[in-house]
Structures are given as C-alpha cells and as structure tokens.
Amino acid sequence: MASLITAGILGIVEGLTEFLPVSSTGHLIITGNLLGYTGEKAATFEVVIQLGAILAVVIMYWPRFWGLIRPNCRQKFSGLRGLYLLFLTSLPASVLGLITHDYIKEMLFNPKSVAWALGVGAIMILIVEKIQKKPSCFTLDEMTPKLALGIGFFQCLALWPGFSRSASTIMGGMILGAKRKLAAEYSFIAAVPIMFAATGYDMLKSYSLFSSADIPFLATGFIVSFFSAWLAVKAFIFLLGKITLNPFAWYRLALSPLILLFWS
C-alpha cells in the first residue's frame, strides 16, 4: 500500500491545481508516475481526492448553492433557473464523456498526451487573452442560457487530460462575453455537478479496489485536497483582479516540453 506521504503529496497537487487553468488531471498523472503510484487503484484514489476539492468550493460558495435549493427572489442565479443554467453547462461534456470514457482512460491518460494538452491549452489561453472583447456579462445573475450552454461546449475540451476543465470553461466564458473573474467563479460552481457525476461514475465502477485498510490513505488525500483547494481558489480569485491568465499559459508552455523530454 502506498504511504500517507504519497497521499498527502497527491492531495496537495489535486487541491492546488483543480480550479486553476493548469489541469489537475495532468499534474496528477505526472506526479503519480514520478511517485510510482499508477494503475486502476491510483486512478480511483484521484477520484476520491477530487471530491475533497469539490467540497471546498461547495462550502466557499454555499450561499449560491443553497440558493439553488431555496430560491432567492433577489438573485436570478437561483432556484430552477440556476439549476437549468448548470444543467446546460454540464450537458455537452457529460454526454461526450459518457460516450468516450473508456477510450480516454485507455489512450489519453499518459504523460505525453498530457504534455501536448498543456501546450495546446497554453497557446489557446494566450490567444484568448489577446483577442478578448469587452465583457458584456459581469455577475452570476446576468448569466444567460446561451452563455451557459456555450461554456458547456468549451468544457468538452477538458476531456483531453492535461487541457484543464478550468481553462476550457474560463476561456469559453471570456470568448462569449463574460468578465474574466465571473468566468472563473462560474467555472468553479459549474465544476461541481459534472465532477460529482464523473467521480460518482468512476467510484461505482472501482470502489471494490479498496478495503477498510485503505481508509487512512484515502482520508489523508481527501483532507489535504480540501484545504489545498480552499487556499488555491482564494488566491486565484484575488490574483484575477490584478493579472491575466497569461502567467498560467507560460507555466504550461514551460512544463510541456519538460514532460516530453522526461518521457521520451
């Protein structure tokens, strides 16, 4: 059984990268290979620690999530309308992911594929920042079904491990007229339903790989991921008021060839 140190390292990597435009899946694949923790059991562990990162966002944006259950008449992003917008955003990637799930797991979950996805995504970020038009949507309550669905189609890019769900949805939002900070916050909130669906599907298929002896290992990764994600989201939102996404793109461009060289 892998050590608790391994669980902690992977939890930190997951939490810090899940909601940043650098790809948590890509970083976990690379880190897992470096630590020698790979295979079906490792893939399922990564699903568990993703739930820790998801929980951090649910708690941070709890008033918004609670508003989906108990509508707030002063907020348009609440109740059935809010749920409908999230459904539209989740639909394209959910359908495509269900169809291609086995192919992606078999063919794209490897360091070289991640390296190319990091590079392609970085170039797209730089282009989007260069051509970004003046925002027309500034708050969650200004979100429209057309914008929500458009972001959902961009989210399909994240099915390529290493591309980044956060990067795809933030770029999609910016291209379609959302302010950068709004695109990021909606990306965090919209991540919850599709990540719950994806992690639930994976866990149903693979939960039998673990036993009660693995509980400390799973708990360590989950808790570390939760607190790392909390810090990362707080810092990211703060930084977006001061910088563009370009530093994340340059980081990706620097990392991509290093991965290709290491695994060539």
Following CA atoms 199, 204, 207, 209 in sequence, which dihedral angle do they give, to the nearest 10 degrees? -110
User: Percent of the chain beyond pLDDT 70?
Assistant: 98
Q: Could you give the CA distance from residue 17 to residue 22 in angstroms, rounded to a whole number?
A: 6
The model's pLDDT over 232-262, given as tens digits with 9 standing for 90+, comes to 999 999 998 888 999 999 999 999 999 998 8
Query: In this structure, are residues 95 and 195 in contact, taking their beta carbons and an 8 Å threshold?
Result: no
For 178, list phi and psi in degrees, rounded to 5.
-85, 145
Query: In this structure, are residues 54 and 203 in contact, taking their beta carbons and an 8 Å threshold?
Result: no
The model's pLDDT over 81-136, given as tens digits with 9 standing for 90+, comes to 999 999 999 999 989 988 998 888 788 888 999 999 999 999 999 999 998 888 99
Q: What is the pTM of this model?
A: 0.89
69 residue type, one letter: I
Q: Provide the 3-class DSSP secondary structure of residue 137.
A: strand
